[in-house]
Structure 1
Amino acid sequence: MLLTNRRVSLVFFCLAGMEVAWFTPFWLLVYRPARASVGWAYLLLLAALVAWTLALELLSRTDLELGRYHLTALGLMAFTSLVLLGVALFWNHPSGDMRWLGPAFNALFVPQSGLPPALALVGGNLFLWQRATVATSRDVTFFGVGVNFRLGLLLLVVGGGIFSYVSGQNLTWLLWIYFTLGLLAVAIARIHEKAGDSQSAGTPLSGRRLGGLLVAVAATVGGVALLSGGYTAQAIWRALSITAPVWRLLRIVLVRVLIALEWLLEPILEWLLAWLQRIFAAGWIELAPQSPIVGAAEAQQMLTQENPSRFLELLRQAGIVLAIGAGVVLGVAILLLYLDKTRGRTVREQAEETEAEAVTFGSGILGRGAQALRDMAGLVRRFGVSRQLLAAVSVQNIYANLCRLARRRGYGRRPAQPPDDYLPTLARAFSGQEEALARITAAYMRVHYGERPVTFAELAQLRADYHQVRRAERSESAE
């Protein structure tokens, strides 16, 4: 699927770049020699993860048995770890000289002060293999990519902060790379999911649409990077100094507003003062003689008498302020109307169901895990701990992989849809394989709903049917 569908390939590449972005700071904390060139370390880790993912994808396309498949994968992990040790730590040895294997094993297992570099290299390589294994069985749904984006961002912030504190290096550029790849992955996953909902078999993502998506992501991330670069104390004070005339005008307006409020509140304050004087005149306390209060009208008259042109200047400034305020209110009103109109049009065009992407804050993962444990307990109760239990689990895995292949081709199974009702949809997804699909569906219903075990001859036939469907699916994808 990684090599036949352009959308899925792009999503997997973006996810690989995101995972390497948050893994790089943690790995550099334990492998000090790579701190001198963080950029090259990121590129090499990304190349390794992409290469291991493609190797496992090509290996899964073969007809190897499960045991041989596992042995081959383990052999690749061990071989790449040894090659990595030889290239990184023992590069000065001749290519045909294998005497460096002894020091390499000593560097791995002999106790040393701190974490040995050889162990950091092997551990990082095994982690990349683990992520490659997860990538080959991952569903690129919109919700799943969004969860990976949020989790990876949290890990990048934590790891980058610790690494910057320890080494003093700035890893902000790694954050911009993560945002770029994350936005691309989320957008392409959404496009892929919408295509699956419309029963599309997966048309390639056109170059024009991909180019527009890249431009939009680059503009978004670049704009945010520019804004964050200018968000400093010096830039803020510089912006405030440019707008100094506005603040002076606002100060004048504020003074006039306070004078107007004093003029409005003057009768109330005079009445309150007279009331308090009558109360205190009763003998509670003696008040000192009060000076006469100058009202707003007297103050304005004194101001106009001293400088007649000052009053006209204040009127002009008040008119400017009112004009600016009216323009701001009008602009905000137009913006709100435009946003409301755009939102209504978007909702009408998409007409999405809210249940499909409900936010669970992790409860969905726990629910699926609990459901898997309940299903396994049901199988143990019906078949006991025996070889029949292993056969039942194998049948369920075969049917689950078959449903996953169909969903990738745009023929997903609806929630709570019975397997016999889903069989015609499977037949449309894999044309010409009706008999094999019928046998797999019937066997799944036997072990999932009933207590009839599957014989080993039937299990061998089901495996042959599944490989037949896989070969047909690969041949159709190649065409």
Structure 2
Amino acid sequence: MLSWQTLALLALLGMETAAFAPWMHNVSPAISAVPLGRFAWLVFLIPLATYALNRLTAALHLKKGVRQAASAGGLAVSVWAALHWWIDPAAAQDMQALYQQPLKGIEEAPLVIPAWFWALAFAFGLWWRGAMLERGRLGPLAVMRSFKAGIFSLTLFVFAEYVTRPAAPDFSAGLLFLFLTCALLALMGSRVSVLERLRGGHRNSFDLRWMGTAGSAALLWALASIGGGLLLAGRVDFLGRVVEYLAVGLGALMAAPFLLLLALIQPAFDALVQKIPQVEGTPVPTPAAPELPDFTSLQQAADKVPPDMRPVFLTLGGLALAALVVWVLRATAERLENPAARPAFEDAPESETLAEGLRRRFGALAEKLRGAAGLSARERRRAAERIRQLYADFVEACARQGVARPPAVTPWEFVPLTESILPASRQDVRLLTEAYVRVRYGELPETEAEIRGVEAAWKRVQEALQKGDNKKPAA
């Protein structure tokens, strides 16, 4: 049997085929255009109401059969509403007439399913699967996979929709953005409830921080959807003016202190220039201005790009630039927060040659690229087990030094107790503890750099503990 990832990929390929090949629309069954109000009701309210019904029955501790009946009833309502509102009576009559007379060609089929319907059904199926699996303990992993697959399919769909029909943009992309945002918010609450049940009904500050982070991501995603909708609606000039005003205002704020200083010293500078005697002599020839590079070929290449495709390339370039800026800022923040985990070749020596400096820079870049490569699901689970084992070794080593962790003491409460035997390794101890707490509450490491940082911290802690053993007098 095919896995759900394979089925999702096949559904995505079918959706893209329908978007790129307009003749595929004529093969679809009879579904008429839906008013926006009914569309919003079907897409947002029915799935979210069914999901809320499942959560309510679970909170009331009803029997398993009652919960299953409620879920089946919600699904039945969704199907009934879709059949009742999406299939128009006039379209049904046309469909009956279509079956009664022979079809001479595919071009004569007048009834079409909208292209965005396939993308919406694909995203909704993944979201429904994640919502159902949330009732077990597979929720976080299924949610993240579904959300990533939904974003990927949405990006390809919007690109295909814009390329094939740039002259008739619609608001389907904005509605899909909104749908994914609502799904993210609902599943965010589901994951917190799963973690709360695993802890026996307790909620801590980690849940609040995680909800704040996910909520911020959902807000940014909604703002990005508004920007994408404006781009698809042909308001590129409006966004360009907004960005220009923001850039000019920011530049004016940054230049204000320099302009004030220049205004203060300008009179004194003019007076000093007037007092300097003018010396007449042989005029010095002005050097010829350097030749500027010829950008004619680049301009000609840019003119060959179709006008309809230029906003697409500008959007992709802007997204790539934004991703690069975010990556640089994130790497800088991690380096400032954890200087001990910095690779050794990033610390420049006092004296080095140009070749050594370039070699060191390329080594740092290669290390960052290797760390940026994501781990597979199996490798992430192995990395999580490795972190648990390292923390268990750390607790056992502390117990041998006379500082045992009582069962009622949490990992963060155990950190101050280790200061008596590890006074100079507070940062490494906190790094070990933070990695263990994340793994304990369901998070998995993303990159190899995280694992190497934890292993390096444990190695330094081991060396510190061994130095403490050597300082003890022999019995």
Same topology, TM > 0.5: no
TM-score normalised by length of structure 1: 0.32
Query: Using CA pairs below 8 Å that are at least 6 residues apart, which structure has the higher relative contact order?
Result: 1
TM-score normalised by length of structure 2: 0.32
Larger Rg, first or second structure (1 or 2): 1
